[in-house]
Structure 1
Amino acid sequence: MTLTQEGLEAEIKAKIIEIAAQSGDDASGLEPHEIIPATGLIDSTGLLDLLAWYEKTYDIPLSQEELTIDNLGSLTRMAEFVLRRKGLL
């Protein structure tokens, strides 16, 4: 696990690519600032899988209030959220 902005974005993107591939979609072109749910690359089940992986991988329990586009909507926002919660940003 790499706790840098770029490293986190790459790890999260790799997971999204993996989840999208299960449905036959290619998420390799996902840009860091794209809003993930708006892309249609992963469905609601995929989003739940992503969030469960995110919590476990980065040891960050998420509260209902934290499940927002501002915190978790894009690769950039997800990486920044990890860094904030780990006290690195």
Structure 2
Amino acid sequence: MSSVQSIQSDVRNFVADNFLFGEAPESLNNDDSFLETGIIDSTGVLELVAFIEDRYSVEVDDDELVPENLDSIDRLINFIESKLKELA
């Protein structure tokens, strides 16, 4: 099972590579809202979900596509961990 640090690193790298376009990933705090800061829009959320499903072999249900699960690195880590626990 993936550790929190591993998940954080994976998510941070994905966001940096796909949405920050040259900005240093260190400029993004773990609790920064992707939507409020304009880092990720609704199309980006779908890319993020595809990454999560692919990388962690989990399924993100439509009712889970909410900011509480997907709107910051911290929220993503918690969400991914909960999905992985469901599989265990």
- Which category of TM-score, normalised to the shorter sequence, fits these structures? 0.7 to 0.9
Aligned ranges 1:45-64 → 2 under 5 Å? 45-64=43-62
**d(CA) in 2 for partners of 1:7, 1:61:** 19
User: Match of 2:6, as an amino acid?
Assistant: G
- SS of residue matched to 1:39: coil
- Secondary structure of the residue aligned to 2:35 is helix
The percentage of counterpart residues that share the same residue type is: 25
- Give me the CA root mean square deviation: 2.0
Q: Alpha carbons of 1:34 and 1:18: their partners in 2 closer, same or farther (altered >3 Å)?
A: same
The CA distance in 2 between the partners of 1:60 and 1:14, in whole Å, is 19
CA contact (8 A) 1:27 1:41 kept: no
Structure 2 residue ranges without an equivalent (≥5): none
**Shift in Å, 1:25:** 5.1
* Offset at residue 50 of structure 1 (A): 1.7
Q: Output one character per residue of 1:13-58: Cα deviation in whole Å (capped at 9) or x when no partner.
A: 100111125xx45251111111112111233333321211111111
1:26 maps to a residue whose letter is: E
Moved over 3 A (4+): none
The number of residues matched between the two structures is: 85
Mapped to 2, the partners of 1:12 and 1:26 lie a distance apart of 15
Q: In the aligned structure 2, how far is the partner of 1:86 from the partner of 1:36?
A: 23
CA contact (8 A) 2:52 2:80 kept: no
Q: Distance in 1 between matches of 2:60 and 2:19?
A: 22
- TM-score normalised by L of structure 1: 0.79
- 2:18 and 2:32 mapped to 1: Cα distance? 17
List alignment gaps of at least 5 residues for structure 1.
none
